[in-house]
Amino acid sequence: MKKDISANFKQSTVLPWIEMRIASQSTACYQAHSHDEFSFGIIEQGKANYRNHKTTHHIGKGDIVTINPADVHSCNPEAGTWSYSMLFVDTEQMGRVQQEVIGQSHLGYSADYTPFRNALERNERIKSRYLSLFQGLQNEASELEVYTRLYDFIEAVHGQTPLSNKPLPSSSLKRVQEKLLDDVSRTPHLEHLAKEAQMSRYQLLRAFKHYYGLPPHAYLMDEKIKRAKVMLKSGQEIADVALELGFADQAHFQRQFKKKIAVTPKFYQSHFVD
């Protein structure tokens, strides 16, 4: 049997109840079938006929397909090849996260989860949130960061709107901020931060970002880079800075530093240390 090299599967090491699939230049066709999990993904190349809810959609690059558990569907390329990425998310776990974001599930479906409203999405906000989530899973970002991206996606796909007025920081939010700043070399688990704040995970992420301007994982990274600048100016070795601030390695530090400052740590340091 010829090995199909057009498809790759991977179980997330960050959230093990999510499976990733990438199909590149595939000619695969799928008969009508269903999944026990939520499944959703993006078409990256080519065109296909996608049938769900007894309706056929003609889809192409940039379109997001959203499939509920037990939905019978099929998806096949119109001609030639197609490329796409998909996520398969455990229904029970998805339901728990949804409850934090949108509360009660819709009538007519299992009380354990809220179904996607549409079989197809072309909203740019949903698209960007999906790509961010997939990238975080693929690159094995921290649990804190991946959860943040998952909540962002669910918020977008279910039409939730951001908070409008900036609140005063509660004492619980300040405790979370202090916990992040006390030891920037460690990335705390979202569950621990939520308990510290006495909020749900989603409530914490939403409130923290609304007040401080960044979700906790990004706020922590921002603080690391600010401290790195001070350390580099003082003449500390780049490798030592990376280690002390909790970066995976020097290369990771350099990538993150350049994202924020637009130059490498070495170039930045050269302007202050002979």
pLDDT tens across 120-179, in order? 999 999 999 999 999 999 999 999 999 999 999 999 998 866 555 545 557 889 999 999
Mean pLDDT of the chain: 88
Please report which helix (H) or strand (E) contains residue 180, including its range: helix 171-182
Domain 171-270 belongs to what topology? Arc Repressor Mutant, subunit A (1.10.10)
Please report which helix (H) or strand (E) contains residue 138, including its range: helix 124-138
d(CA 118, CA 67): 8
Half-sphere exposure of 109 (CA within 13 A, CB side): 15
Q: What is the pLDDT of residues 38-61, one digit of tens each?
A: 999 999 999 999 999 789 999 999
Q: Domain residue spans in the chain? A: 7-159, 171-270
Unique residue bearing structure tokens 């906000």:
125
Residue 15: its pLDDT value, please?
Answer: 96
d(CA 209, CA 163): 10
Half-sphere exposure of 181 (CA within 13 A, CB side): 9
- Is 52:117 a contact under the CB 8 Å cutoff? no
Q: What is the DSSP track for 152-196?
A: HHHHHHTT-----SPPPPPHHHHHHHHHHHHTTTS---HHHHHHH
- Is 165:206 a contact under the CB 8 Å cutoff? no
Domain 7-159 belongs to what topology? Jelly Rolls (2.60.120)
d(CA 235, CA 238): 9
Burial class, 52, CB count within 10 angstroms (exposed 0-12 / middle 13-18 / buried 19+): buried
